Amino acid sequence: MQRFSALSLLGRALTGHRSWAPQWRRASPQPAYDALIIGGGGHGLGAAFYLASEHRLSRVAVLEKGWIGGGNTGRNTTIIRSNYLFDESAALYDHALKLWEHLSQVLNYNVMLSQRGVMMLAHNLHDVQVIKRHVHANRANGVDNEWLSAEQAQQFCPPLNIADIRYPVLGAALQRRGGTARHDAVAWGYARAADALGVDIIENCEVTGIRRDAHGAVEAVETTRGVIRTPKIGVAAAGHTSVVMKMAGVRLPLESYPLQALVSEPVKPVFPCVVMSNTMHAYISQSDKGELVIGAGTDAYTSYTQRGGLHISAHALEAVCELFPIFRRLRMLRNWGGIVDLTPDRSPIIARTPVPGLYVNCGWGTGGFKATPGSAHVFAWTIARDEPHPINAPFTIERFRDGYLIDEAAAAAVAH
Ligand code: FAD
Ligand code: PYC
């Protein structure tokens, strides 16, 4: 490990860190690749990493219209959990959680996974029934989750107000393996590791068109930095998936909504876990910097605006003040938004498309950060082998035609 004195660190900061080696090359587009990934978020960068590391595809590039991690990967509230209801989802999200547990070692990059526990509150009889059903289903699938009484919930999270409140807390589900990770580090860690395997990471390169050959298969992309030939394209463009897929003539059942979050001024460590209340429409955790990270639901209307309505965050803050009266005098520092892509059943699509050579990873809506390593892993498999991994086989586009929906609206939680 390289060591720096305080003086040399100060010197480097004042000179713009020019002597520090970049973590990945500033690659320029080559005329052709074996596979292209559109979208430099965690899912796209991760897919490129697994294509190179597990499928030995060395001529791979990630095309990102802005900077890597500048989309939802760098805008989310970093909650990780795998407590989804259906068997298909449990397999997918727990595959991801198991990969999270070793990701820092695999990438040799600290993604700051903190398994501090995610608690979901029940405030009425319906909540109790739904949440207990999730607990039982998770345990049947080998996914940890447990039911706590209101008093046990308060013991686990002392600032929680359980009684003197409009919607008293009747109990909670606790997934102890759930928690948070540092979102930017996930993008940077995958980027550095993929780059080391020869993947070109090309920022400021917007895809503006997808060319198809006489048989309809993909043959090239048009970008703001020229035309690039390829027989395989993986789209991981989150809120802009519909826009990119339209370039290939594919229409998906997706709607794009703004989702926002906000942080408070930093305070000492007072909040030990992640708490979510679907009924009161708020969730909260404390970052390592000390800020309280607070989130709410999506706006009620579709839009590509990267910010949410003020009334949504005001509503979330009212809920936080009732649930955690100790935070009533905290000041909020900043808020921001991202564009999330929702499917009708609130489960993702990770699949081949009707266009040969075109693959899509989308529909993560408000909850794809937690899935990043698992999603990227099975997406790379699908692209490399032109067939789904058993874990993503149910997450097709055709399920919306055939009726095999995986309805996770309840597990998708507060933000939906
Ligand atoms: P992104 O990180 O959005 O990457 C897609 C990239 O594609 C972008 O960088 C974009 O610039 C690029 N792109 C788009 N069009 C083009 C083009 N034409 N050419 C080239 N590049 C293009 N999930 C959780 O699990 N837990 C949470 O706590 C959580 N909180 C959230 C809070 C907020 C406020 C938001 C907005 C989302 C939250 N999510 C959460 C959801 C999560 O952030 C996303 O599902 C996940 O990050 C999606 O990752 P991605 O790599 O697919 O997309
Ligand atoms: O999926 O857990 C989640 C989540 C929390 C906030 C936004 N999404």
Higher per-residue confidence, 385 vs 58: 385
Do 187 and 236 fall within a single domain? yes
> Which of 369, 372, 408 best tests ligand 1's pocket when mutated (most atoms within 8 Å of CB)?
369
Dump pLDDT digits (tens) for 1-19: 456 688 887 887 788 777 7
Do 239 and 223 fall within a single domain? yes
Task: Answer yes or no: is 383 within a domain.
Answer: yes
Do 193 and 75 fall within a single domain? yes
Sequence-ordered list of residues with C-beta below 8 angstroms from that of 127, at least 6 positions apart, any chain: 121, 170, 278, 279
Residue 188's CATH number = 3.50.50.60
Task: Answer yes or no: is 97 within a domain.
Answer: no
Q: What is the pLDDT of residue 411?
A: 82
Task: Answer yes or no: is 393 within a domain.
Answer: yes
Higher per-residue confidence, 300 vs 412: 300
Task: Answer yes or no: is 10 within a domain.
Answer: no
The pLDDT of 327-339, averaged and rounded, is: 96
Task: Answer yes or no: is 120 within a domain.
Answer: yes
> Which of 42-51, 207-216, 294-303, 347-356 has the lowest average pLDDT?
294-303
Residue 284's CATH number = 3.30.9.10
pTM, to two decimals: 0.96
pLDDT at 416 over 70: no
Percent of the chain scoring above 70 in pLDDT:
98
> Which of 283, 299, 313, 372 best tests ligand 2's pocket when mutated (most atoms within 8 Å of CB)?
283
Task: Answer yes or no: is 93 within a domain.
Answer: no
Nearest alpha carbon, ligand 1 atom 44 = 368
Q: Which ligand is nearest to the CA of 183?
A: 1
The pLDDT of 203-223, averaged and rounded, is: 98
Q: Which domain holds residue 161?
A: 114-179+255-342
- Among the three residues 299, 319, 342, which one is the final residue of a domain in this structure? 342
β-pair type (292-298, 282-286): antiparallel
Do 307 and 187 fall within a single domain? no
The pLDDT of 127-152, averaged and rounded, is: 98
Dump pLDDT digits (tens) for 87-135: 999 999 999 999 999 999 999 999 999 999 999 999 999 999 999 999 9
| Residues 62-90 as b or e (16 or more Cβ within 10 Å = b) | bbbbeebbbbbbbbbbbbbbbbbbbebbb
pLDDT at 49 over 90: yes
Task: Answer yes or no: is 221 within a domain.
Answer: yes
Do 214 and 301 fall within a single domain? no
- Among the three residues 321, 342, 363, which one is the final residue of a domain in this structure? 342
Angle at 196 between CA 192 and CA 202, to 5 degrees: 65
Nearest alpha carbon, ligand 1 atom 47 = 73
Do 212 and 266 fall within a single domain? no
Do 259 and 338 fall within a single domain? yes
- Among the three residues 297, 319, 342, which one is the final residue of a domain in this structure? 342
Q: What is the CA radius of gyration of the chain?
A: 21
Q: Give the chain's mean pLDDT.
A: 95
Which amino acid, 281? H
Q: What is the pLDDT of residue 18?
A: 76
Task: Answer yes or no: is 31 within a domain.
Answer: yes
